[in-house]
Amino acid sequence: MAVRALYTGSFDPITNGHLDIITRASRMYDELVVGVIVNPAKNPMFTKEERVEMITEVTSFLPNVKVDCFQGLLADYVNRNHFQAVVRGLRSAGDFDYEIQMAHMNARLFDPGIESVFLMADPAYTFLSSSMVKEVVSLHGNAEGLVPESVLERMKERV
Ligand code: COA
């Protein structure tokens, strides 16, 4: 049976840190779905369609990666789609504190056998977040190497 995993987040926009986790996770599973979450509380720079489009574009070299988007409870989406694992990246001890709480809560909500799996972020990207890149680009700073080239172009157009 094919082992399928989900890597989820807002991806507003996808960064090279996310892409590193996606690339590594794609080698661990038969299929990796990148799930763009629609959080009504956030005011994103890109629509969910634009975020899906950008991720599809920059992961096109990974044949077992698919992109989807969803709203609502993560565990509902995971159970409904029969994923065996949910991958998360850890950049720092701060991420760990947040993730451990979320993993324990999700463990109660996931169907039996579904695991949260953590990959350490590449040290080159441990300082990175989508918001920080948005701030740098909006203030006309140099964000080269932090997001894929095509994403950077779209960000510059947007600001
Ligand atoms: N490289 C670069 N940046 C990274 C990164 C990496 N490897 N890993 C995380 N980040 C950044 C993201 O860009 C994001 O930056 P931003 O806050 O500036 O946008 C930040 O770290 C947080 O990312 P993430 O942890 O993915 O948060 P999120 O808000 O994008 O998504 C969910 C969090 C989707 C997992 C969580 O909110 C969720 O499950 N929501 C659904 C509702 C639910 O089920 N709630 C109950 C949970 S128990």
CATH number of the structural domain spanning residue 15? 3.40.50.620
Catalytic residue among 10, 48, 51, 130: 130
Look up 66 and say whether it is catalytic: no
134 is catalytic: no
* CB proximity list for 120: less than 8 A, separation 6 or greater: 89, 90
What domain count does the chain have? 1
> What is the domain range of residue 29?
4-158
The model's pLDDT over 88-101, given as tens digits with 9 standing for 90+, comes to 999 999 999 999 99
The structure's pTM equals: 0.96
Express each pLDDT in 12-22 by its tens digit: 999 999 999 99
Q: Before 148, cis peptide (omega within 30)? A: no
pLDDT digits (tens, 9 = 90+) for 35-80: 999 988 888 999 999 999 999 999 999 999 999 999 999 999 999 9
For residue 50 the two structure tokens come to: 């634009």
**Beta carbons within 10 angstroms of residue 41's beta carbon:** 4
C-alpha span between 122 and 18 (Å, rounded): 10
